[in-house]
Amino acid sequence: MNPAELQQPILDSGIHSINFFNGRLLTACDLTREQTANRQLDKQLGQAIGDGIAGGFEVSEKSPRSTTAPILTVTPGLAINRRGQTLQLTNAIEIALVREVNGNGNAGKTFNECVPLQTGTYIAGAGVYLLTVAPAQTTEGLAPVAGLDLGIASCNTDTIVSTLQFRLVQLNPPLTDAELDDEDHLRNLIAYKCFGVEELSASTTDPFGAGLNQYGLLDSLRPNRLTECDVPLAVLHWTLSDGVKFVDMWSVRRRLTQRGPTSMAGIDDRILSEGEAMIAQFREALASLSMSVSGLPNVKATDHFNFLPPVGLLPLNVIGGAAGFDYEKFFAGIKYWRPVFIEGAKVKPLLRMATSYPPVDVNSGELIWLYWVRENMQKINDTITNQPRPYMIFSNGYIPFQGDARYDLADWEYSSYV
C-alpha cells in the first residue's frame, strides 16, 4: 500500500453524493444514492454522540397483569444504536409476549420481526429475556406512474417507512440453572453481570494485559445474538406459573454514552454511565421490594443483593407512616461506621463522585459509610405535620469520608467535628 500524501483527499473514507446541475438527467438510482449519503452523514453524527437512550422508552408490565398472556407497556422515547441510527417511538405502545399460533399476531402492524427468535405459541417461555428496540423498515401505499403497465408494475411503492421494532433475546444460557433458581438474588445477579464487575475487577489486577474493550453480559451476546442495531431496554423474568416476575430497566438501560478513544477500561464515559445505572437500578429494585415484601423493616440487604451500588439512598421506616427499611437490619452482616450527619450541599457531589467507584460486594467484609442528611432530619425534628420522608445515604468505603463538618457552614447540633 502506497502512503498517502499530506493534503491528499482520502477517497475510501468519503461519502459520495450526487452533484446536481441544470440539464443533468436524474434517475431513481441517483436520488436513492443521495438519500443514502444523507443517512450516512446522520449515522456518523449519531456514532459521535454515542449509543443509548436519550429519553423515554420506559418499560413496565401492563396492569392488570396476566400470567398466561403478559403484556408490556413502553413509553415514547428516543434512542441511538451503535450504528448511529436514531430510533423514536412517538406514542406509547403495548407489546404482547405471546404470539398467536397461526403466526398472524403481527398482521397489519408496523413492527415486523426481522429475525424470528423462537417458534411456537410463545415468544417468551420460562426464563430471563432481554427486551431491545431496533430499526425496521416497511412500505406504504402505491404511487402513480407513467410509461409503465400498471398491471405489472412492482416498483411503484409510494413511501418507505423507517421505523422500529421490539425484540426478545433469551439470557438462559448464558445464565445457568443454579443462578435462575436463586430467585431472591436473580435480579441483582443479572444486573451486575451486565455491569461486568468481575471483568473490571480482573482488569485492575493486570492493566497491561489485553485491552478490555468488551466486558459484561451484554457484550458477551454481541454480535450474533445482540446486534449493533439493538438498543437494550429492559430485562424481564418470566415463568409459566407466575407470569412476569420482574421488569428491570437499569440493569441494561444506559444514557447516551460516548465511546472512549482508549482501550483501557474504567477511564471512559462508559464507566460513568454504568455507575449512574447502578444507582438507578438499586432505587428501582427497592421500589420493587416495597411492593412485593410485606415486612420491609425486617429486610436484610444480603437476602436480596450480592452487590450494592457505590452510593445509594435508603428510605427509612416511619411508625404510623410510609413503610421503609430499618438500616440496622438492612445492613446486618455488612461492616459500617456509625451514621453521621452531612450537609445537603454534599449530596449531589457525593452522588456524582461515586459513579466512578466500584460497587459494594456485600460479602467482602469491607466498610461502608452511612450518612444522615442534616436538612432532612432537622425538618423532621422541627415539624409535626408534612414531615419529609426520612432517608439515609450509604457509600463505598473507598469514597472519601464526607462527614467532617466545617465551621461557619455546618449546624452544630447536626454535625460531626473531628
Same domain, 302 and 207: no
Helices (H), 331-394: 347-354, 374-382
User: Is 21 a member of any domain?
Assistant: no
The predicted structure's pLDDT at residue 149: 58
User: Is 345 a member of any domain?
Assistant: yes
The predicted structure's pLDDT at residue 326: 95
Same domain, 202 and 299: no
Host H or E run for residue 191? helix 183-195
Q: How many CA atoms lie within 13 A of 91 on its CB side?
A: 2
The predicted structure's pLDDT at residue 110: 35
Tell me the C-alpha to C-alpha distance, in Å, between residue 75 and each of 104, 130, 163, 292. Answer: 25, 17, 16, 24
Given 252, 279, 306, the domain boundary residue is 279
Same domain, 270 and 349: no
Q: What angle do CA 78, 83, 87 make, to 5 degrees?
A: 20
Given 279, 312, 342, the domain boundary residue is 279
Q: Spell out the per-residue pLDDT of the chain, length 418, in tens.
A: 789 899 888 888 889 899 999 999 999 899 999 999 999 999 999 999 999 999 999 999 998 888 888 899 999 999 999 999 999 999 999 999 876 545 444 433 333 333 434 433 344 456 899 999 999 988 888 888 776 555 555 677 888 888 999 999 988 778 888 888 899 999 999 999 999 998 888 877 777 766 677 899 999 999 889 999 999 999 999 887 788 999 999 999 999 999 876 656 567 899 999 999 999 999 999 999 998 888 899 999 999 999 999 999 999 988 766 789 999 999 999 999 999 999 999 999 999 999 999 999 999 999 999 999 999 999 999 988 888 999 999 999 999 999 887 776 666 677 665 5
Given 251, 279, 307, the domain boundary residue is 279
Beta bridge pairs of residue 131: 168, 234
Q: How far apart are CA 194 and CA 215, in angstroms?
A: 8
User: Is 286 a member of any domain?
Assistant: no
Q: How far apart are CA 113 and CA 128, in angstroms?
A: 20
Question: 41-79 burial string, b = 16+ CB within 10 Å, else e?
Answer: eebeebbeebbbbbeebbbebeeeeeeeebebebeebeb
Same domain, 62 and 160: yes
Q: How far apart are CA 214 and CA 220, in angstroms?
A: 8
User: Is 149 a member of any domain?
Assistant: no
Helix 269-292 and helix 347-354, axial crossing angle in degrees, nearest 10: 110
Domain span including residue 360:
293-414
The predicted structure's pLDDT at residue 121: 39
User: Is 91 a member of any domain?
Assistant: yes
Same domain, 238 and 316: no
Q: Which sign, positive or negative, has the C-alpha torsion 97, 101, 107, 111?
A: positive
Residue among 135, 102, 99, 104 at smallest CA distance from 117: 99
Q: pTM for the whole thing? A: 0.87
Collect all residues with Cβ–Cβ distance below 8 Å to 413 and sequence separation of at least 6. Answer: none
Same domain, 233 and 329: no
Same domain, 195 and 63: yes
Same domain, 174 and 91: yes
Same domain, 328 and 358: yes
Residue 285 region, left (φ>0) first, then alpha (ψ -120 to 50), else beta?
A: alpha
Same domain, 318 and 251: no
The predicted structure's pLDDT at residue 340: 94
Q: How far apart are CA 414 and CA 269, in angstroms?
A: 36
Task: Identify the residue whose cell numbers are 431513481.
Answer: 28
Same domain, 268 and 162: yes
User: Is 95 a member of any domain?
Assistant: yes
DSSP character at residue 298 = G
Helix 183-195 and helix 269-292, axial crossing angle in degrees, nearest 10: 170
User: Is 20 a member of any domain?
Assistant: no
Q: What is the number of domains present in the chain? A: 2
Percent helix, strand, coil in the chain (nearest 5)?
A: 25, 25, 50
Beta bridge pairs of residue 369: 395
Same domain, 323 and 265: no
User: Is 172 a member of any domain?
Assistant: yes
Helices (H), 196-335: 197-205, 217-221, 269-292, 327-330
Q: Are 171 and 192 in contact (CB under 8 A)?
A: no
Q: How far apart are CA 193 and CA 215, in angstroms?
A: 9
